[in-house]
Structure 1
Amino acid sequence: MVEKEETSSSTLWTIHGERPVDSTRRLDLSIAHVELPDGVTFEQYVLRMPKAAMTVVLNDERTHALMIYRHRFIMDRWTWELPGGYVDPDEDPQICAAREVEEETGWRPRTIRPLTTFQPLAGTADFENLIYAAEGAEDTGQGPDINEAARVEWIALDTVRDRISKGEIIGAGAQLGLMFVLAER
């Protein structure tokens, strides 16, 4: 749990109201009427999304990570990603993380533990991302979900930095999770 630090209220932004724009099962979009400490006012788009959980699944030797290769239509790009997805209401995030690995890859993690959390767009969105690490996995014999992955592969950890620099791994969650695992080595 993150403790709140005492700060001067003179630096807090004042929210004079928030107007809903659209609401779906995966996104609430609104416009907040904001006043800065110096008196400047403006409107700010605000996105609120359900938590997401993803997992860095390591092989037994801790040399490779299980990743999915998929197309992201919004950017029209192919990318390597960690398996993951939205946490269902009232679902334990760690159970979600393990479920998503199995559904998307056909592999069942043997162990799973929290690695880190992050907010990808802290100035605009409330979208908590939870990253887990798994040690080892069992092949269930089921193939990957065709809606989620074109390919599933064990990617060598010693290629991760190069893949990131070449734009093959573009997601913030995948980059952060993989870098955490590399830092633990």
Structure 2
Amino acid sequence: MAHPSPVSPDNPWTTLSTREGYSNPWIRVREDQVINPRGGHGIYGVVEYQNRAVGVVPVDDQGYTWLVGQWRYCHDRYEWEIPEGGCPPGEETAECARRELLEETGLHAAQIEPLLMGIQLSNSTTNEVCDIFVARGISQGVPNPDETEKLEVWRLPLSEAIEMALDGRIRDSVSVLALLRLRS
């Protein structure tokens, strides 16, 4: 069986033109006219994110974590997730993780450590990338969620949150990745 080469091959796609279809403060949708790797003409639609995604798993000295519950409009269902948000250009992702943790849960973290960095959330239709952190040295403050968020906050054993990621009760990819990484 052949193993992948450690050398990056040249890009087999040729972009002929780009047309913006839609843009707002969070996303830009574009359609590219392309020549695909086999030489055929076609289109490729891409959703470009204006912010970098950030997630953070708070873990206290007793082995507990906090999940955030909210209605997810795109999926039309209620979901439990780790605290997450968008990091605008110019803000460090570790500081964004601290900010999102405080906004969504009211928690302060003495330490923020990288857990998973540069994770591609979809490699076929978006350029969205996520940095995920673990927060330790937790103390309680007052949450201040965005006006678009109606949140519930749940403190539970980290082991139970990991079990929820394993059995499908948590479906958010950033949360599942983070919790399974902490399992190992």
Q: TM-score w.r.t. structure 1 length?
A: 0.87
User: How many Å separate the matches in 2 of 1:45 and 1:60?
Assistant: 46
Specify every segment of 5 or more residues in structure 2 that has no aligned partner in the other structure, as ranges: 1-5
Confirm whether residue 60 of structure 1 aligns to residue 72 of structure 2: no
Q: Taking every aligned residue pair, what percent have the same amino acid on both sides?
A: 24
Query: Cα–Cα, structure 1 residues 98 and 8, in superposed 2: closer, same or farther, change >3 Å?
Result: closer
User: How many Å separate the matches in 2 of 1:54 and 1:68?
Assistant: 11
Match of 2:82 in 1: 82
User: How many Å separate the matches in 1 of 2:98 and 2:107?
Assistant: 9
Q: Could you tell me which amino acid in structure 2 is paired with residue 107 of structure 1? A: L
Q: What CA RMSD, in Å, does the superposition of the two structures yield over aligned residues?
A: 2.0
User: How many Å separate the matches in 2 of 1:149 and 1:56?
Assistant: 19
Q: TM-score w.r.t. structure 2 length?
A: 0.87
Query: Cα–Cα, structure 1 residues 143 and 39, in superposed 2: closer, same or farther, change >3 Å?
Result: closer
Match of 1:180 in 2: 181
Q: Could you tell me which amino acid in structure 2 is paired with residue 163 of structure 1? A: M
1:94–1:132 CA contact under 8 A, matched in 2 = yes
Match of 2:13 in 1: 13
Match of 2:3 in 1: none
Deviation for aligned residue 1:27: 0.3
- Describe how 1:107-122 pairs up with structure 2 within 5 A: 107-117=107-117, 118-122=119-123
1:104–1:149 CA contact under 8 A, matched in 2 = no
Match of 1:159 in 2: 160
1:78–1:168 CA contact under 8 A, matched in 2 = no
User: How many Å separate the matches in 1 of 2:9 and 2:15?
Assistant: 17
User: How many Å separate the matches in 2 of 1:107 and 1:8?
Assistant: 45
Count of residue pairs the alignment pairs up: 177
Specify every segment of 5 or more residues in structure 1 that has no aligned partner in the other structure, as ranges: none
